[in-house]
Every structure is written in structure tokens, then in C-alpha cells.
Structure 1
Amino acid sequence: MARWEPGARERLVVAAVDLFTEQGYDATTVAQIAERAGVTKSTFFRHFPDKRELLVAKQEMLCRLLAEGVAEAPEGASPLAAVAAGLERASSAMGPVNRELASRLKAAVSASTELQERDALKSLSLAAAMTDALVARGVPDPTAALAGELGVLAFKRGYAAWSEGDRDAEDELAGYTLAALDELRAASASLG
């Protein structure tokens, strides 16, 4: 099969999201995804162990970027300032394709219990990556865990706002995630 941009991995993700939206997650086969993406089934399996993993394709990379950003925050940065550095780093990995697929991805996840469970596990791993990086900076565990959870919530809220925004705008995800973190910081201060 001919190779064409934007690369097999990305084409597989786009094809899967489209098929999950059109006919549902359970009714979609790996063969259909591969065919829609213009690749073979063996190419699919070189990139993903199963169809469920397509929707969390960048999870490991996001965890790594979040942890690196937290670790590289300036010395003396507060836990939430370090989380903000992680959010900024991870947000840089999300581009126009992510924005374009967001609403279809959300619909596919909403329609499948299995995908909802996988999405919840993704959130846990993102929080753990930030929490571990904060603990490594010397932040006490309860504080690190709370900051990590706020970071995940900020990432989700920022991603939702960014993906629902003007698709032709060239604004970046980082501005949305950092604004969401600021909102959550203010909200938590009002808890008393």
C-alpha cells in the first residue's frame, strides 16, 4: 500500500476515531481500521497492541512530558507552579490534529464503557506521573498527590475548552490548561 502523510500511526488513530463515531467501538474491527487508514493489519499491530490503545496513543508521551516539565521547574517553585510547567510541556505535544479529533473522540468515549474505563486509567497515570515528579522534588506525598490531581483536572478542562474553540485559530493548548489551573487554584482557595 502506498505511504502518504501524515504517517501510518496518525492515520490509524484518525481512522479509528472516525469508525468508532460512525458505527461504534464494539462494531469496529482492527481490519476495518487498517483498511480505512490505508495500511495492513500487521502495520496496525506494529503500532498498537489492540484497538483500545488507539485512543490513548500519546499517554506514555504525555506522562513523560508532564514529569519532565515538573522536574525542570525552577528550584523553589511551588507544587502548582511545577505542575504548570508540566502542563505547559505536555500541551506542546498537542496540535491541530488533536484539536480536530477531539469532539469525535469525546463522542466515541462517551458511547463505550470500555473506553470510559480506559480513559479513567489514563487520568490516573497522568496524575501519578506528576505526583511522582513532585515527590522527587521533595514535595510531601499528600500535597504532591493533590497537585497532581489538580493538574489532570486542569489538563482535561483546558483541553475541552481548547478543542471546542475556533478550529482555525492558532492559539495553543498551553494557554487553556494554565488558565484552567489558575481557575482551580482560585476555587480551591475558596474551600476554606
Structure 2
Amino acid sequence: MGRWEPNARGRLEQAAMELYGERGYEQTTVTEIAARAGLTERTFFRHYADKREVLFGGSALLQELLVDTLAGAPATAAPIDAVAAALRAAAAVFDERREQSLRRQKIVSANAELRERELVKLASLSAALAESLRARGVPEPAASLAGEAGIAVFKVAFEGWIEETDGRPMGAYIEEGLDGLKAVMAGGRA
């Protein structure tokens, strides 16, 4: 095996997803993932801290997309509107990766440790949105509330999109969630 292998990270992710689907998360080892990918354990650990992180490796990219989109929203945009723009950008990316998202969510849903890690990821995203809003001059508690509300909309939209059978894009679920949030805030019912 050569020292440099192209797309090692992608190969490790694909191997892990296959093995988790075939054998289950708990029964799969890092050694097996690396072997399936045609790589070494050492290479695995250059890319991921542990086997759980294979499923969460995209979190940093998602956070970057959300924060960058929010930061690029017009300065006059209300905090929740800036968050909404970020959520729409994320939805477009998820639609491109639907099959992978479905497989990943099935694995995460079947394991308490992974569900807990998912909640940590969502809390990190909320904190990042709030920090980005504070950088735009949004005071507390409005920045934290808008960040939390945005991630709540994202979570509910993602769950609906994962379970959907009518072919609607995730963006449609984001819009429904945003409309529902606005209705609740206005004193109505979603």
C-alpha cells in the first residue's frame, strides 16, 4: 500500500457507512473500517478521532456554511431572517446528499450514544449561529434565542424531510418550520 491514498477520508466514510449498515455501529471496529477502505488504522486516526466521528465529520462544514451564509445576509435583515437564509443554504446541500443523509440518520437513530452526539452537534450549531448574530450586533438574549430557534426549525425540518415520501425538498420543510415559528410567535397556531 502506498503512503498516499487519494480520497482517504471519503473512502473511510463510505466503508464505515457500509459496515454500520451491514453489521451495526456497535459491532464495527476501526480496524474493519480501515481494511474495507483499503487503508491502515493509522490513516483512519489521521482523519477521525474515533469511529463515531465518521458520522459527524461534516459538522464543521455545515457550521461553516451556516455561519458564512448568516454573515453574508444583508445588514438590515432581522436576526431570524438572517438565520433563515442560513437554513435555506443548508437545505440545498442536504438535498444533494439525500441518500447519504437517510443512511446516516438510520444509523444514528439506532444508537443512544450517536443520538447524544447528534444533540451536541445541534447545540454547537446553535451556539455558532448565536455568536455570528452577536458579531452582527444582535444583543443578548435575542442572538441566543434566534440561534436556538433556527436550530429547532432545522431539527424539525430535517426529521420531516427524512421521513417524507412525497419527494419534497428539505427547503420546503424549512419554509414550513419558519412559517410555523412565525405563527407561534404571533400568538397563533402552527
- Shorter-chain TM range is 0.7 to 0.9
Greater mean deviation of Cα atoms: 173-182 or 77-86: 173-182
The one-letter amino acid of 2:111's match is S
CA RMSD, Structure 1 to Structure 2 (Å): 2.8
Correspondence for 2:21: 21
Greater mean deviation of Cα atoms: 78-87 or 108-117: 108-117
Correspondence for 1:39: 39
Q: CA deviation at 1:77?
A: 0.7
The one-letter amino acid of 2:118's match is D
1:147 correspondence with 2:146: yes
Correspondence for 1:117: 116
Q: CA deviation at 1:121?
A: 0.7
TM-score (norm 2): 0.83
1:21-77 deviations in whole A, cap 9, x for unaligned? 332222110111122233332332222121111111111111121111111111111
The correspondence for 2:187, drawn from 175, 182, 190, is 190
Tell me how far apart the structure 1 counterparts of residues 169 and 39 of structure 2 sit (CA, whole Å): 31
Tell me how far apart the structure 2 counterparts of residues 137 and 103 of structure 1 sit (CA, whole Å): 35
Gap runs ≥5 in structure 1: none
SS of residue matched to 1:76: coil
SS of residue matched to 1:102: helix
Greater mean deviation of Cα atoms: 26-35 or 118-127: 26-35
Q: CA deviation at 1:155?
A: 1.8
Q: CA deviation at 1:86?
A: 1.4
* Correspondence list, 1:124-139, <5 A: 124-139=123-138
Q: CA deviation at 1:119?
A: 0.8
Q: 1:157 to 1:8 in 2, by over 3 A?
A: farther
* C-alpha contact (below 8 Å) 2:66/2:87 kept by paired residues: yes
Tell me how far apart the structure 1 counterparts of residues 75 and 100 of structure 2 sit (CA, whole Å): 37
Tell me how far apart the structure 1 counterparts of residues 5 and 179 of structure 2 sit (CA, whole Å): 41
* Correspondence list, 1:1-192, <5 A: 7-96=7-96, 98-165=97-164, 173-190=170-187
* C-alpha contact (below 8 Å) 1:86/1:130 kept by paired residues: no
How many residues align? The count is 188
SS of residue matched to 1:94: helix
Percent pairwise identity: 44
* C-alpha contact (below 8 Å) 2:94/2:101 kept by paired residues: no
TM-score (norm 1): 0.82
Tell me how far apart the structure 1 counterparts of residues 147 and 75 of structure 2 sit (CA, whole Å): 18
1:72-118 deviations in whole A, cap 9, x for unaligned? 1111111110001211333344354x311233322222222221221
The one-letter amino acid of 2:108's match is V
Q: CA deviation at 1:163?
A: 3.6
Tell me how far apart the structure 2 counterparts of residues 33 and 188 of structure 1 sit (CA, whole Å): 47
